[in-house]
Amino acid sequence: MKMTYVELCQLIESGEQPDKITVDGLEYEWGDGDYIDEDGDDFHNDFDLETLINRSEIIVKENLLTEAERDYLKTVIKPFRYRVNSITKKRVGSVEYIAIDCTAEEFSDEAILPSSPEGTTYKQMEPNKPYTLEELDL
């Protein structure tokens, strides 16, 4: 998703800043109250304010999980993380749940987490789409 610098500032003020952004191909990750590149410099050092305000090409990597959801899933998969192929939000009627696929060559295995009413948890994940651990930032 693309947004303007002003929209990004409004999002940050709301407390829902994205984990990562890309500006002119340079990636920045949220940390210590600002976006920082791999060298530890914030993106305000790379661009002057006038350039940022007039820019509408800030690409935001949307957070698919809330911090609480991410922490929960990290804890759940920790003992068998190396076996996880994908994580999928599944919907049956008005109920949704998370399925963790751990299928290997010799067997098929899936962990099912407790269900919740539709639209109450994992809101940014598309139903029935398998996500890798990297896509979910796990």
Q: Is the pLDDT of residue 56 over 70?
A: no
C-alpha to C-alpha distance for 3 and 125, rounded to whole angstroms: 21
pLDDT in tens, 80-93: 999 899 999 999 99
Position 102, amino acid: C
C-alpha to C-alpha distance for 106 and 93, rounded to whole angstroms: 32
Chain length of the chain = 138
Average pLDDT, integer, range 53-79:
84
- pTM, 2 dp: 0.60
CA 1 to chain centre: 13
Q: Which residue is it, tokens 């914030």?
A: 42
pLDDT in tens, 118-138: 989 998 888 999 999 988 988
Nearest to 37 by CA among 49, 25, 48: 25
Sequence ranges of the domains in the chain? 2-61, 67-131
Average pLDDT, integer, range 38-52:
84
Mean pLDDT (the chain, rounded): 86
C-alpha to C-alpha distance for 126 and 40, rounded to whole angstroms: 33
- The answer to whether 73 and 21 have CB atoms below 8 angstroms apart is no
Q: Is the pLDDT of residue 59 over 70?
A: yes
Q: Is the pLDDT of residue 77 over 90?
A: yes
Percent of the residues in the chain that have a pLDDT greater than 90, as a whole number? 33
> Which residues make beta-bridge pairs with 22?
27, 59
**Between 10 and 74, whose confidence is greater?**
74
